[in-house]
Amino acid sequence: MRTHVSPALPESGYMASLAKARSDLRDLAPFLGRLFIAMSFVVAAMAYALVRAQNGGNPEFALWIATAAGFGAYMALNIGANDVANNIGPVVGARVIPLAGALIMAAVFEFGGALIAGGQVISTVRGGIVMPEALADRNVYVWVMMAALLAAALWLNLATVFGAPVSTTHSIVGGVMGGGIAAAGLSAVDWSVMANIAASWIISPLLGGLFAALFLYAIKRFVTYEPQVLKAAQRIVPLLVAAMTWSFGTYLILKGFKKVWSASLLEATMASALIALVAWAVSRFLIARRLPKLQNDKSAVNQLLALPLIFSAALLSFAHGSNDVANAIGPLAGIYDVLTNDAMQEKAIIPFWVMGLGATGLAIGLLLFGPRVIQTVGGELTRLDAMRAYCIAMAATITVITASQLGLPVSTTHVTVGAVLGVGFLREWLKRRYARIVSDIRTLHAGRDEAECDAFIARLQASPFAQRKAMIDGLRREHAKRLADTGVCGSAAAAERGEALVNRALMTKVLSAWIITVPLTALISAVIYFTLRGIML
């Protein structure tokens, strides 16, 4: 009997395969390590909640409380991994601060914001999405909130894997809506609230993009387009720092400390204005000392804005922690409250251990899995520098403050991404506009020496911005008098071609993720609700 013997793998091929396997293992090991830490946190949260419930006089509900704690911990991890990118992504993309430093800074401030200013009381029915009477039964309420938590966390996890920044608020809203519909039908949902949320899909990115583009154009117009950039920077940058201090102070008082100090808009703006005045004076002094060491170009402006941007990222992280921790622990606090009390209350007191769980989860999720979405926000949609990052941060705060006062629903995720796109599209427009101007100048120099054309372009760039239009108009009049129509010193065809500075494919992916967030989390939540209900009945 003849047996078939496979040819031996050449030694070189075997060694190459072995080396590749080892390389793949080395690449996989860090991810497995991060996954182990995340799972350990979830298990630890469940174990603590289980022991606490058993020792706290609620042994009959201990398993449900432990499971809800696990879902809340999982949700907090995913909020940290996905949503915090809005705060530090632009400054990391602008290379103002290294990724590792940004992660540590944001984790500390997210934890502090959640723990210090996260609030002690929260609505048991998130945002009035579902009519309270639809969740009057204790078991139904628990199943709906658990389904909402897990559905939102699963979607955020998937979005993070693909690097798509999505709204955690919309995720939990979709989860509550889907669970509510599964429990009590379509009539259980307050559709006017849902209509406002749907409106924010359009309002948030448009306002963010508009404000960011306006801020960037103003900086270019009054600073970087001027021939004496340093002189303009000495005058304008302190005003930019003061404006950032005012807007961030107002934002932080209204949003970050709203559970600690319920200030009115007037009180917040007045307090922030005083701080902004101090910031203006200090920045003028510091900038005057730094100017002799800087070059006369836009790199000077980027360097001068670096430190204020680091402070802004820290403050945004604090405000985010104080606000969005509710997306993780709100349903968990409601579940804990309804299981440990005889009747469901309109407001639930948040136990300190629940607040600590949410704060810790935000920080751990950011440190372990945050870089993926940070890369999308900070560098993949469009290239950023400190000036653009400044405009994005300002747009985010101004939009949220404005929309809040007008009663318009906005998502900070959508605002930030919209602002990133806004600065990218403005840069594309400015480059196309400049290409058209250069093409017109070359056409108006038709029949003349090309060196003369290049010299005019150089003079134009070195002239104050306000004089440039007059220079081109004078060239047009001179050309009309010559009536020369022979030859050109350059091609006008390039005027209509513009370099794409925004990643359209990635933008489409992100926008698609936004659109499906609420319906998809609602569907997942409904499935989970029926699963839980089937297990218990």
Task: Identify the helix (H) or strand (E) that includes residue 122.
Answer: strand 121-123
Q: Which residue is listed with tokens 């007008």?
A: 406
Give pLDDT, residue 493.
42
Whole-angstrom Cα distance, residue 443 to residue 449?
12
Contact 391, 423 (CB under 8 A): yes
Tokens of 303: 């360097």
CB 362 within 8 A of CB 111: yes
State the pLDDT at residue 84: 85
Q: What is the pLDDT of residue 7?
A: 53
Tally of residues, the chain: 537
pLDDT at 234: 94
* E-assigned strand segments in 258-359: 347-349
| Rounded Cα distance, 207 and 198, in Å | 15
Nearest Cα residue to 74 out of 100, 46, 51, 116: 46
Its sign, for the CA torsion 2, 6, 11, 12, is: positive
Summarised one tens digit per residue, pLDDT across range 199-222 is 877 888 999 999 999 999 999 999
Query: Are 146 and 67 spatial neighbours (Cβ–Cβ below 8 Å)?
Result: yes
Residue with tokens 């997942």: 524
Q: Which residue has the tokens 């909402």?
A: 148
CA-derived radius of gyration, the chain: 28
Cα(245)–Cα(233) distance, integer angstroms: 17
Three-state DSSP state, 120: coil
DSSP single-letter state for residue 494:
G
Write the pLDDT tens digit of every residue in 373-420.
999 999 899 999 999 999 999 998 898 888 877 766 678 899 999 999
- 525-531-536-537 Cα dihedral, nearest 10 degrees: 110
User: Which of 329, 365, 361 lies closest to 81 in space, CA to CA?
Assistant: 365
Residue type, 1: M
pTM of the complete model? 0.86
What are phi and psi for residue 301, nearest 5 degrees? -65, -40
What gap in Å lies between CA 137 and CA 133, rounded to an integer?
A: 8
pLDDT for position 489: 46
Are the C-beta atoms of 189 and 522 separated by less than 8 Å?
Answer: no
Q: Where are the beta strands (DSSP E) in 284-427?
A: 347-349
pLDDT score, position 120: 58
State the pLDDT at residue 294: 93
Structure tokens at 386: 């400190």
Coil, helix or strand at residue 4: coil
323: which residues sit within 8 A by CB, 6+ positions away?
Answer: 113, 255, 256
Which residues are CB-neighbours of 199 under 8 A, at least 6 positions away? 408, 409
Residue type, 361: G
Please state, in angstroms and rounded to a whole number, the distance separating the CA atoms of residues 467 and 471: 6
Q: What is the pLDDT of residue 465?
A: 79
Q: How far apart are CA 500 and CA 241, in angstroms?
A: 31
Spatial CB neighbours of 491, under 8 Å, sequence gap ≥ 6 = 439, 442
pLDDT by 10s per residue, the chain, length 537:
455 555 554 555 656 666 665 665 666 788 889 999 999 999 999 999 999 988 877 788 899 999 999 999 999 999 999 988 888 999 999 999 999 999 999 999 999 888 887 765 565 555 578 877 777 788 898 999 999 999 999 999 999 999 999 999 899 989 999 999 999 899 888 888 888 878 877 888 999 999 999 999 999 999 999 889 999 999 999 999 999 999 988 988 887 677 667 788 888 899 999 999 999 999 999 999 999 999 998 999 999 999 999 998 998 888 888 877 888 888 888 888 888 876 666 666 788 899 899 999 999 999 999 999 999 999 899 999 999 999 999 998 898 888 877 766 678 899 999 999 999 999 999 999 988 888 888 888 776 778 888 888 888 888 887 788 888 888 888 777 765 444 444 444 444 455 688 999 999 999 999 999 999 999 999 999 999 988 876
Residue 178 · residue 148 · CB < 8 Å: yes
Nearest one of 25, 126, 499 to 333, comparing CA atoms: 126
- For residues 244 and 415, what is the distance between their CA atoms, to the nearest angstrom? 17
- For residue 231, what are the contacts with CB-CB under 8 A and spacing of at least 6? none
